[in-house]
Amino acid sequence: MKAKSLKPMRLEDILFSQGFGTRRVCAGLVQQGHVQVLGETVTDAGEFFDVQDLHFSVQGTPWPFKEHAYVLLHKPAGTECSQKPSTWPSIYTLLPAPLRQRPQKAAVQGVQAVGRLDQDTTGLLLLTDDGQFIHKMSSPKHHVPKVYEVTTKHPITPDMVHKLLSGVVLEDDPKPVKAAACEAVAECHLKLTLTEGKYHQVKRMLAAVGNRVEGLHRSQIGGLVLGDLAPGQWRWLTPEDLALLKS
């Protein structure tokens, strides 16, 4: 992600671009004295600011200017990666309103999940409003490795590990799929690395070797690890994080 020079913007447009509402709403926030820039209250919505590394606050909540939002979320169990969930609460309710309201050219506003995790799967989930980034991270052509911690119902045998590494045929999918790496960490704990993302892939692969997934957690994407972020919590990705995703 090569940094580029950004043009100064009117404060009203800055707030709009970051998801704080329509331009009218953003102008109202400024005029009512709810916006501070560099520690000072600004009431002129048309005042220009250099957005490079700009930090401001709206109604007391600090916020950094981001040309594109790149977010890491620790997805908890019992949530759906959908803005219109069918049964479980949406992961998007875990994010602040500006991230959900960031304007986009597409009909859907806000950041979008980079791929999906099942409702009972936990762990590292990326969200962004950068369509090119979503494509690069999701496309099987780029072979971005994703590491899963798998708890299984039955003990893991060396034969199971061998089959997962060699390739297994999934139901309704004649082309074999194989793990990029596979390690039995404990009797019923498997560390599995995949470079493609098929529907229910981990569960189907374990079923293909005669086992069953009891718990599933994604701990790493590329060189980026989830770390100690608590379930349901999110944070901005740093330039270093983005570099790790490419490694």
Count of domains forming the chain: 3
Tokens 């493609």, residue located: 196
Q: pLDDT tens digits, residue range 23-71?
A: 999 999 999 999 999 999 999 999 999 999 999 999 999 999 999 999 9
Residues 90 and 184 in one domain: no
Using the predicted structure, report yes or no on whether residue 142 has a pLDDT greater than 70.
yes
Going from the C-alpha of 129 to that of each of 67, 85, 106, 136, 219, the distances in angstroms are: 9, 20, 10, 13, 22
Q: pLDDT tens digits, residue range 183-233?
A: 999 999 999 999 988 889 999 999 999 999 999 999 999 999 999 999 999
Residues 119 and 78 in one domain: yes
pTM over the 0.95 mark: no
Residues 163 and 216 in one domain: yes
Largest CA distance in the chain: 69
Per the structure block, which two tokens stand in for 92?
Answer: 């998007």
Residues 191 and 216 in one domain: yes
Q: pLDDT tens digits, residue range 74-106?
A: 999 999 999 888 899 999 999 999 999 999 877
CA–CA distance, 84 with 89 (Å, rounded to integer): 9
Using the 3D structure, point to which of 64, 85, 103 is the last residue of a domain: 64
Which ranges in 10-153 belong to alpha helices (H)? Answer: 11-17, 23-31, 97-101, 131-138
A 10 A CB-CB count for 46 gives 10
Residues 101 and 214 in one domain: no
Residues whose CB is less than 8 angstroms from the CB of residue 240 and which lie 6 or more positions away in sequence, other chains included? none
Residues 124 and 228 in one domain: yes
Is residue 3 in some structural domain?
Answer: no
**What phi and psi, each to the nearest 5 degrees, are found at residue 97?**
-55, -45
Q: What is the DSSP string of 63-95?
A: EE--SS-EEEEEEPSS-BSSSS-SSSPBGGGGS
Is residue 122 in some structural domain?
Answer: yes
Asked whether the beta carbons of 46 and 52 are under 8 A apart, the reply is no
CA–CA distance, 60 with 58 (Å, rounded to integer): 5
205 lies in which domain range? 145-221
Q: CA 27, 15, 44: angle at the middle one, nearest 5?
A: 40
Residues 241 and 126 in one domain: yes
Active site residues: 118
**What phi and psi, each to the nearest 5 degrees, are found at residue 162?**
-60, -45
Using the 3D structure, point to which of 64, 93, 109 is the last residue of a domain: 64
Q: What is the pLDDT of residue 155?
A: 98
Average pLDDT, integer, range 131-144: 86
Asked whether the beta carbons of 150 and 191 are under 8 A apart, the reply is yes
**Shortest CA distance to 179 belongs to which of 209, 223, 137?**
209
Q: What is the pLDDT of residue 14?
A: 98
Residues 84 and 44 in one domain: no
Per the structure block, which two tokens stand in for 55?
Answer: 């930090």
Residues 213 and 152 in one domain: yes
Asked whether the beta carbons of 77 and 119 are under 8 A apart, the reply is yes
12 class by beta-carbon count within 10 Å (0-12 exposed, 13-18 middle, 19+ buried): buried
Is residue 1 in some structural domain?
Answer: no
Q: What is the pLDDT of residue 247?
A: 67
